[in-house]
Structure 1
Amino acid sequence: MFSRLSTRWKQWRRQWLDYPLRQGKMWAGRYRIEQFIGMGSYGQAYRCIDMQTGAVVLMKRAKPSKHAIGREMLKRESEMMRQLTHPQIPRWLGNVKHRRESSLIMAFMDGYNLEEWIMERAQTYTQADALRIVGQLISPLKHLHEAGYVHRDVRIPNVLASGERIGLIDFGLACRIGEEAPDDRMKAAEEREGEPSGFADSWGAVKQQMREPYPMSDLYGLGHLFLFLMYAGYVSVEGQEERSWEEELELEPAVKDFIRGLLEKRWQTAVECERELGAVLDAMQIS
């Protein structure tokens, strides 16, 4: 009985600590909060107005319930994003101190993430659509890898679409290539968050592959992202036994081989992956 009450109290306290900041609130005397965008494992995102410049910006605040872990993760993310300059990656603008908290300020990228398109708008994708999205994501991943980092979280919630433009967001789990895994406190905190969305298979089946600090892990994520996009429009036959994606999805042989290559980590760099995808698109006459 006491154990259940204690658990409920801790859950309630975390929810209270992480309750979103209200619309209209001023942060650090400069940023007016316009909209709460969402919450991840370690941070909260807000669309704000910079009252000094009038610009729309994105403010990422560490989740208060994560305490020192959240602040450390936000600091790591900020230091990395400061080194990135790519049109498909949010531009770093600065860090802002507010009382005992700090926040990361980025240029605001308009659009909807692919999870919203699929889950809320019932968006479906053709084979060509999904390949184009994968192709557009290779460019920011190349830039990230060349800067010495790996994203480690290439999933539909972290891909932003605005018309034909595709952006890669949320670098909270990114790390240096070859860097040792975050300490046990961070890993334990991630475990408590449960299974994230955006995978064709269960999280347990892909987690180790996804979190390895090497470029191949991001390419592996692209493979799962492609499958998730294709499954958005898949209709199963009632009573039919579950089959592999290769049997369930109607894909061109060259596309199947390319996706298999991503999932098998056949290519070590985004440059190699881009070259292979280019050959597939040329063969299918997809621009």
Structure 2
Amino acid sequence: MWKRMIHTVSGFIERPFPKDALIENRYKVIDIIGAGSYGFCYLVVDQTDHEIKVLKTLRLHKRITDSGKSSFEFEKKLLASIEHQGFPQYFEEGVHKGIPFYTMEYLNGKNFEQLIFIEGKNFSEKEVFLIASQLLQLIGHLHDRQIIHRDIRIPNVIVADSTIRLIDFGLARKLNQLDATKRKWKRDLRKEINPQADFYGLGHFLLFLLYSDFPLPNDKKERSWEEELSISSGAKHIIRRLLQIEPEYENCRQIETDILEVI
């Protein structure tokens, strides 16, 4: 109840930086490109090198809690520790009028939410699993470093320069790290701190892509994805294991082996 009140009051008080605002006499705001429960993301121009970058700030209701501040610090350190072209490059941190921020690489591309729901793009089964194979390489890179992303969703997967990129480490955690925000009475497979959490997210990501090529039914009868989607038995097997309907995958290599068979 108390947290909900803080969130509501903060929503009335807090205002994002306006267009053309100059942050720390260096970053000029072009536009706001994201507003989540943890932070605002802005497209900015760095006045020192004239490069377009992304600047992320911590929301007010998170700044007034120790857990919110520590999560933001952890997110910065985590992103800074990853040096791979599949993820945004971390640049620097700072504080503007008491608001902590950090900057990172701007990925000039489109996420799968935009591709599916705005551009109406369809993906065949083969295309879906080719994309899955690329995304799995990024998930595997994180898992090899004991990092669980915990937010594999269509808004967080981007196609930039014909390459799959993964963004948003706000919910990422180190393997075996305790999660202070976890509610014991409600299990959320996607938010657990284990590899299977990312595999579960990957399963739902694949379903979104597969449904992009699904014609709307004439009747309104509710059916399962297995009944509605005309996909191969191998594809169904992969998704069932990702969603833990069948025995779960233990690692990315097992998934990659099954994906190669489907492709």
Same fold judged by TM-score > 0.5? yes
User: In structure 2, the residue corresponding to 1:52 is in which secondary structure?
Assistant: coil
1:222 counterpart residue number: 202
Q: 1:245 aligns with which of 225, 229, 245?
A: 225
CA, structure 1 residues 120+8, in 2 after alignment: closer, same or farther (shift >3 Å)?
farther
1:273 aligns with 2:248: no
**CA shift in 2, pair 1:132/1:68, >3 Å:** farther
Match of 1:197 in 2: none
Identity %: 28
1:213 — aligned with what?
Answer: 193
Which residue of the other structure, out of 113, 122, 125, is the alignment partner of 1:124? 122
Does the 8 Å CA contact 1:57/1:106 hold for their aligned counterparts?
yes
The answer to whether the 8 A contact 2:159-2:165 is kept is yes
Amino acid of the structure 2 residue aligned with 1:19: R
1:65 to 56, 61, 68: 61
Does structure 1 residue 182 correspond to structure 2 residue 162?
no
Which digits, 9 at most, give the CA deviation of each residue in 1:206-254, with x for residues without a partner?
A: x611011011110111111000112233234233521211110000111
Alignment of structure 1 residues 3-14 onto 2, 5 Å? 11=8, 13-14=9-10
When residues 146 and 18 of structure 1 are mapped into structure 2, their CA distance, relative to the original with a 3 A threshold, is: farther
Could you say which residue in structure 1 is the equivalent of 2:93? 95
Whether the 8 Å contact between 1:42 and 1:73 is mirrored in structure 2 is no
Deviates more, 1:231-240 or 1:155-164: 231-240
**2:80 matched residue in structure 1:** 82
- For residues 85 and 23 of structure 1, the distance between their equivalents in structure 2, rounded to whole angstroms, comes to 31
Instruction: Tell whether the 8 Å contact from 2:234 to 2:261 is kept in structure 1 after alignment.
Output: no
Whether the 8 Å contact between 2:135 and 2:164 is mirrored in structure 1 is yes
Task: Tell me the TM-score normalized by structure 1.
Answer: 0.82
Give ranges in structure 1 of 5+ residues lacking alignment: 1-6, 189-203, 282-287
Cα distance change on mapping 1:73 and 1:112 into 2, 3 Å? same
Distance 1:83 1:255 in 2: 34
TM-superposed deviation, 1:8 = 10
**In the alignment, residue 143 of structure 2 is paired with which amino acid?**
H
Would you say how many aligned residue pairs link Structure 1 and Structure 2? Answer: 255
Per the normalisation by structure 2, the TM-score is 0.88
The amino acid of 1:36's aligned partner reads I
Q: Which residue of 1 aligns with 2:240?
A: 260
Once residues 247 and 219 of structure 1 are traced to their aligned partners in structure 2, the CA distance between those partners, rounded to angstroms, is 22
Q: Which residue of the partner structure matches residue 284 of structure 1?
A: none
Cα distance in 1, alignment partners of residues 227 and 28 from structure 2: 51
Partners of 2:220 and 2:21 in 1: CA distance? 53
Distance 1:92 1:237 in 2: 45
User: Which residue does the alignment assign to 2:43?
Assistant: 47
- State the distance in 2 between where 1:226 and 1:9 align: 36
More helix by share: 1
Alpha carbons of structure 1 residues 8 and 93: separation in structure 2 relative to 1, 3 Å: closer
For the residues of structure 1 that align with 2:121 and 2:115, how far apart are their CA atoms? Answer: 5
